[in-house]
Structure 1
């Protein structure tokens, strides 16, 4: 009996020493951030930060309307560290930034240099290296107050746009994160980040009711291009079309979409299983970047009137190869002309060994002398359901 009482006493003392969930925070005590935007006031040099706070009521099944899915709060301060402190002056809940989806900065902010932004971000214990970073050429205040259809959370919408565009066209790389910019800070290699824009004029009011319209092509967020960064500073931009070629040459996508003009008829091709190999070599003392691209093609649309045969299929494949080579060379020349080291040639040359390479390493910007040698090989493995297109006067009751 004594042993039983002794066990109860020991158990009671043990339980009394437990602190329990003393630091637990209920969800209704948090202001959960879904998207963040940053810019700088050109006149006052104040940091301006926009927080999109998720409204749980909008997603509640028990709520009739729920209101706006997010609320945008704006804070200003001379220093980044004070922004979080100032949020307590306005927010009735604790600011929670651990799970936000994306971060947007203005083009002007990016051109000024983002080293201080990155230093602040990397110091945070709750930073997320996989966070996607976007540049916008639209007014950030309007971008952060835009209602997005289908996907109620704009931050999640932007992540989905990257994923869908990458899979459908290869025009956006998945390496568009904060960590990708940080990794290239001490490198000559250019970092490419997506540009998002506000399409069309914004409606006069910001209520969700003003968007109850079947046509949502206007007043929406769309991807419009790609921003090029040298270290922490934006130095230029290219179109999504050009970025597709860049991603393919870099081996950062295994899909690609291309329309070709074959004797006045358009053929839409979807390339899959795209494989890229590249290496840098010396030819007669000059650096040459050798890139070999292989791809399997599927015909998605064919406006030709003749029946597909082996000769025609071969012409389509050859035209695809030629068009890829021509457009890629144009992009490469544009990069060299603007001194955008998009392929990391400076670092490649820097770490090469040998007397000939030592000579190049002593020259300033030797990487701009590098020539491109591109080889493209493609095979068509999917021609669609029909190989003989319908023609006028056939199958419609006419002779």
Structure 2
């Protein structure tokens, strides 16, 4: 049992690695309990303070913290871990081993990669949630219900379990929209929340714990869907010259080999929910079937393009080698994808409002 004011509670951690020297720069965001107090006259305004250290080994940072933190270093409340893109491209096996083998670390912490300067990311306040670590963690919570097991598969323990596979690991990229860090807490008083702020920006592709490239947001979504980890997607189709937005829910993917190791069949099933219908004609059963048909064809085309992109880059995005395919000839594997959808939810009326 410890008094909260005697602990340096770390909410967010970040690390960068210099490819020339091999030295690490670690960042720790420590919560300031007095600023979270509801009592009048709180002693300090900043909710978190950011500490920065440099050394040549991960295990040496604990000792360094005692030289500048007047409280006991405490990592049990850590929300998220962020690493720089240049560190990810060098390979992060050393970090994974450090987290997994250290008794003081938690392997259920989620991992992100940033394509923005680490200093900028770690020294910026966030709107709506005053603690940046919790803000970033909450971004992932928006997606968790649609993942299998309701877990975003980017925890250190998930990554460690899959680093030996040929199927890539895709980790969300955190991007900072401004040029300078929002290091002043007055930033959260500004109404423009998108300016000088953080958001997801696609996904980093890691093979055997080393970043080899990145996917845009739509391709990242397809990766998780086809590997049976995610169950939702939004598509826009054109019906009778007008746009119709539909949301695919409860997506189920079934795989089977037509010819073992050389011809893979993938069937994708989805329930459709009508999100936006700009058609000027009445919604009929025939019209619903037309939307389903257009959705199937549109998604099949995107999936084929996605599969070809992975093959061209040498990324086994479908996990062919880990699911019955030949490791030597997986690029020559014929893949046939069929999408089957059914409209299950429409709006309150089937007849649009029109002006004479």
How far apart in 2 are the matches of 1:371 and 1:163?
A: 36
Q: State the secondary structure of the residue aligned to 1:53.
A: strand
Q: Alignment RMSD, CA only?
A: 2.1
**What does residue 326 of structure 1 align with?**
301
1:14-29 equivalences under 5 Å are 24-29=1-6
- Is the CA contact (8 Å cut-off) linking 2:14 and 2:26 kept in structure 1? yes
Does 2:342 correspond to 1:367? no
Return closer, same or farther for 1:189/1:169 CA change in 2, 3 Å cut-off: closer
**What does residue 350 of structure 2 align with?**
387
- Which of 270, 273, 281 matches 1:306? 281
**What does residue 133 of structure 2 align with?**
155
Deviation, 1:149, is: 0.6
Deviation, 1:200, is: 2.3
How far apart in 2 are the matches of 1:336 and 1:262?
A: 32
Deviation, 1:180, is: 2.2
Q: State the secondary structure of the residue aligned to 2:250.
A: strand
- Is the CA contact (8 Å cut-off) linking 1:162 and 1:173 kept in structure 2? no
Deviation, 1:165, is: 3.8
- Which of 165, 190, 193 matches 1:213? 190
Q: State the secondary structure of the residue aligned to 2:50.
A: strand
**What does residue 19 of structure 1 align with?**
none
* CA deviation profile, 1:29-51 (whole Å, cap 9, x unmatched): 11000000010134433110000
How far apart in 2 are the matches of 1:209 and 1:101?
A: 23
How far apart in 1 are the matches of 2:19 and 2:340?
A: 50
Q: State the secondary structure of the residue aligned to 1:151.
A: coil
* CA deviation profile, 1:273-323 (whole Å, cap 9, x unmatched): 21111233417xx61222111111111111111111111111101101111
1:1-399 equivalences under 5 Å are 24-64=1-41, 66-167=44-145, 174-202=152-180, 206-282=183-259, 287-349=262-324, 360=326, 365-393=328-356
Q: State the secondary structure of the residue aligned to 2:142.
A: helix
- TM-score in terms of structure 2 length: 0.94
- Is the CA contact (8 Å cut-off) linking 2:227 and 2:319 kept in structure 1? no
Structure 2 unaligned regions, length at least 5: none
- Is the CA contact (8 Å cut-off) linking 1:168 and 1:256 kept in structure 2? no
Deviation, 1:330, is: 0.4
Structure 1 unaligned regions, length at least 5: 1-23, 351-359, 394-399
The structure with more radius of gyration: 1
Deviation, 1:173, is: 7.4
